[in-house]
Amino acid sequence: MKRIMRALRRCLAVTAVLAAAFSLPATDAFASPTAPASPTPVVGGKRAAQGEFPFMVRLSMGCGGALYTQQIVLTAAHCVDGSGANTSITATGGVVDLQSSSAIKVKSTKVLQAPGYNGKGKDWALIKLAKPINQPTLKIATTTAYNSGTFTIAGWGATREGGGQQRYLNKATVPFVNDADCKKAYGDDLVPGDEICAGYLDQGGVDTCQGDSGGPMFRMDDAGAWIQVGIVSWGNGCAEPGYPGVYSEVSTFAAAIAQAASNL
């Protein structure tokens, strides 16, 4: 149970929180554009520019995602409830501002949760959309070659643990944390090989938080293009010293994701 709660803290899994974020009027459900800028969500980040990360998608259950294809969103397994036909999810893309009149909103048709997912590892899922979102996609890492260095994280999640969701997409950068150091923080809860860690171990202060689950952790590849290395999964609190963020390691599941997408 401890592990499940850690995983869910990156999404709006608690019904009351989800209802509060999406049933309020637009002016209340998201932070005002004139609200204090510090801290910003992603925790310790700053607002992204329109078009900077066009592959980013906001999902109506309170998670993030990235366009794997223009009609398939890659997100976290803990954001969805099993596999099969599903028309209840709305994906919003093409904008930084969720209230923009230019926002592209598309309903889901099917969901595929990672086979064998049980709350520990294998934290990936695919959502097929009713029609394409005409935006650039984000390629995924197929080897561990990019599992190092500094990564970019982005999302519409909370400014702090337990905080409200945000109107504008925000971004931050976090450094790679090796398995040995991450395991010191999380012990046997960590699944090396399935998961990759990133964050500022000593000082904390920069991290994903509630509402960022399922969003991508990405970096530049050797050709200067964005490549997805991780999927926002879980962690202890938000941006706490000694506890890096834990992300599903995309390269581990790249072949399974590709196969699943081809059959979705």
Q: Which residue has the tokens 């992300």?
A: 247
Tell me the CA distances in angstroms from 212 to 42, 116, 153, 180, 209, one per residue in order. Answer: 8, 23, 9, 25, 6
Strand, helix or coil at 40?
coil
Q: Are 204 and 242 in contact (CB under 8 A)?
A: yes
For residue 153, how many C-alpha atoms fall within 13 Å in the half-sphere facing its CB? 35
Q: Tell me the C-alpha distance between 80 and 62, whole Å.
A: 10
Catalytic residues: 78, 123, 213
Cα–Cα distance for residue pair 43/160, rounded to 1 Å:
6
Distance from C-alpha of 14 to C-alpha of 70, rounded to nearest angstrom: 29
One-letter amino acid for residue 76 of the chain: A
Q: List, as one string, the DSSP characters of 159-207.
A: SSTT----SB-EEEEEEEE-HHHHHHHHGGG--BTTEEEES-TTT---B
Peptide bond preceding 39: is omega within 30 degrees of 0, i.e. cis? yes
